[in-house]
Amino acid sequence: MIPITSVRFGAEEEELVLQVLRSGSIAQGPMVKRLEDEFASLIGVRHAIAVNNGTTALVAALEVLDLEPGDEVVTTPFTFVATLNAILEAGATATFADIHEDDFNIDAASVASNITSRTRVLMPVHLYGQMADMDPLTEIATANGLRILEDSAQSHGATYKGRSAGSFGLGTFSFYATKNLTTGEGGMITTDDDALADRLRVLRNQGMRERYVYEVAGHNYRLTDLQAAIALPQLARYDATVGTRRANAERLIAGLASVPGVVVPQQYEDRQHVWHQFTVRITEQSGLTRDEFVSKLQEAGVGAGVYYPKLLFDYDAYRNHPRVISTDVPVAKRVASEVVSLPVHNALTDDDVSTIIEAVTNIVGGA
């Protein structure tokens, strides 16, 4: 079976983790500081603040935007549940805009029609490793006085017109086990704003500026040096990691582009994709439903993932939630029934990529 993700570490990670273990200081310390500095430089921002996961990164980022009850955050319904959970945990109300079928990301025109007098934050999610179309989104945010918070959990190092995900306002990242960079659990917040960065550092550490001097009611959102030690070597070779993912993606695109009913991911000249996922759409023309396609893939020994099978507001947990405002989003609704992600990770061999292409071609050809 070719797995949909594969997590592997090298001698550098082992070495650095041992160094932390032997130092006897395993909580937040110098390794976390190094990771913050190096991550800030990857993204091209003044500040990176490490936290314990990508969800708390979102919660903390929302908290420093000083939202009032009833204030709305407009985002995409086609994302991982953490995006919505963070909005709710921060006490805000979630509203939703539709997406583009070509890049799977939030559609600026739909954002514009969902802005109300209570909208305060625009939260694009850069899905699968590719950024949303930021120019029209930035324009709308500016015209309506909205803050931009980019959920970049899947898009470490992705760019749009040369600017990185997480550099348009506040950005958040996840280092969960399956993400492009991982510490098992972990997260990061990025910003150029000195004052927000300062508040975030205080907020993640119990609201404490110095020992027992509490400025705000805070959290324990700290990352540990043990975790940072796992991330530093991955960061050092991240260009190569993305290069391998990109090469795999290029081969998959070339091999699958002419298969009827399989729509390969769209690339844009001015956006650098970091290929967290390689996601195709299985349309009617394939003669198969998405779920039939996925089970045949499994039979052929190819692991596949469906990210995400339903829109968030279509789950019972949120359907009647007073702070979850559902809207009509026809594109997102259809796309959620069509998407399948195929393996694109670094551990794939050339043979694996050939096997994936053959399996998809045979399954659709035999339908």
Chain positions contacting ligand PLP, by CB under 6 A: 53-55, 79-80, 82-83, 125, 151, 153-154, 174, 176, 187
Least distance from ligand PLP to the Cβ atom of residue 223, Å? 11
Is the link from the previous residue into 268 a cis peptide, with omega within 30 of 0? Answer: no
Nearer to ligand PLP, 176 or 363 (CB): 176
Q: Which is nearer to ligand PLP, 61 or 146 (CB)?
A: 61
Least separation in angstroms between CB 154 and ligand PLP? 5
Choose between 82 and 148: whose C-beta lies nearer to ligand PLP.
82
Q: How far apart are CA 67 and CA 57, in angstroms?
A: 16
Q: In what order do the strands lie in the sheet with 262-263?
A: 262-263, 278-282, 339-342
Residue 234: CB minimum distance to ligand PLP, A: 15
Cβ closest to ligand PLP, residue 186 vs residue 343: 186
Residue closest to ligand PLP when measured from CB atoms: 54
**What pairs with residue 195 in β-bridges?**
none
CB closer to ligand PLP out of 122 and 360 = 122
Tokens of 196: 């927000």
Q: Report the residue number, 174 or 234, with the smaller CB distance to ligand PLP.
A: 174
CB of 347 to ligand PLP, least distance (A): 20
CA distance 282 to 307: 13
Q: Smallest gap, in angstroms, from Cβ of residue 213 to ligand PLP?
A: 29
Minimum distance, C-beta of residue 190 to ligand PLP, in the bound complex (Å): 14
How many angstroms separate the first and last alpha carbons of the chain? 22
* Main-chain phi, psi angles of 196, to 5 degrees: -65, -40
In terms of CB distance, is 83 or 248 closer to ligand PLP?
83
Which residue matches tokens 């992600």? 341
Report the alpha-carbon angle 260-261-263, nearest 5.
100
Q: By the 8 A CB rule, do 158 and 152 touch?
A: yes
Relative orientation angle of helices 225-236 and 30-43, to the nearest 10 degrees: 40
DSSP classification of residue 114: T
Q: What are the angstrom distances between the C-alpha of 207 and each of 34, 47, 56, 60, 359? A: 22, 18, 14, 11, 53
Smallest gap, in angstroms, from Cβ of residue 59 to ligand PLP?
10
